[in-house]
Amino acid sequence: MDLAYLRAHPHLLPTFLHHQRIRETPVDGGSICHTSRLTFDDGESIFTKSWPETGGRAPDGFFAAEAHGLRWLAETGTVAVPEVLVDTPDLLGMAWIEHGQPSARAAEEFGRALAGLHRAGAPAFGADWAGFHGSAQMDNTPGPGPWHEWYAERRLTAYLRLSMDRGALERDDVARVERVIAGLDRVGGDEGPARIHGDLWTGNLLWGADGRCWLVDPAAHGGHRETDLAYLRLWGGAPHLERILSAYAEAWPPADGWHNRVPLHQLSMYLLHTALFGAAFAPGVRDTTSACLPLTA
């Protein structure tokens, strides 16, 4: 078993894991999946994700969504994404990327590449495959737009309902989010569908030893490019963020006023977190809606 054989026979990886000498080393890959580095006798490695044994079976389409997203981003020839080698209902295997350190040069190259990815566009808002954002299902039902209508229904309203079902938001919080949704048509900045990563916070940037910034764990779909740019600012922000954004703007300047709309795009992420994890993230929803309401009034 080596990479060449695996590319030709990807469905055999689970069998070879049990019957061949493949060294498996657990690695950090997030909190949802069991993640490992598999090393073959010739020294080549791959990165695998599987559903934890204690969690039963993976949700239908969970690994397929990530595989679709990685391939869809890769076909543009712009950003660096790991090659998908194995795609089964229970396992995802990708080319191993050796980790390095963030650098200003890599950040600038990434900014230009991200602009190229977004320019590649998408047939519609949404995608032709069922989506996941972390472990939460993401409604990718395609729609022609305008963007603010699609975003209101498929992201903000959907995650708000899940958050309400969980009891994660107080009544005043819900009312404020609903006011934001009702005023989205007054915000401006609508554009046609861009090809976006969809979960582009700093934890999904892998700075490689080859000097490139690789994108991992996408929630890829046709969306608004400002969503990717806004997510880069979350949770402390990406390394060399201003270099990334400056290089992006040189390649394809965002529409006027995009900085003011950052909270509007980030609101979907905070609502996702209240839906998944509960009231601990309610202050983020509260602060973000406060920043959004002047835009939608």
Catalytic positions, please?
A: 199
Angle between helices 158-166 and 262-277 (to 10 degrees): 40
- Nearest to residue 127, comparing CAs of 235, 259, 52, 220? 220
Q: What angle do CA 261, 265, 268 make, to 5 degrees?
A: 150
CA distance 12 to 6: 8
Please name the residues in contact with 9: beta carbons below 8 A apart, sequence gap of 6 or more. Answer: none
The length of the chain, given as a count of residues: 297
Q: Which two tokens stand for residue 105?
A: 């040069």
Strand spans (E) along 27-73: 34-39, 45-50
The residue type of 252 is: W
Handedness of CA 203, 227, 224, 257 (dihedral sign): negative
CA distance 212 to 191: 29
Q: What is the DSSP letter of 156?
A: I
CB 248 within 8 A of CB 115: yes
Output phi, psi for 214, to 5 deg.
-95, 145
- C-alpha–C-alpha distance, residues 125 and 261, integer Å: 19
Closest CA to 198 of 108, 279, 96, 129: 129
16 close to 1: Cβ distance less than 8 angstroms:
yes
Measured CA to CA, the distance from residue 281 to residue 273 in angstroms comes to: 6
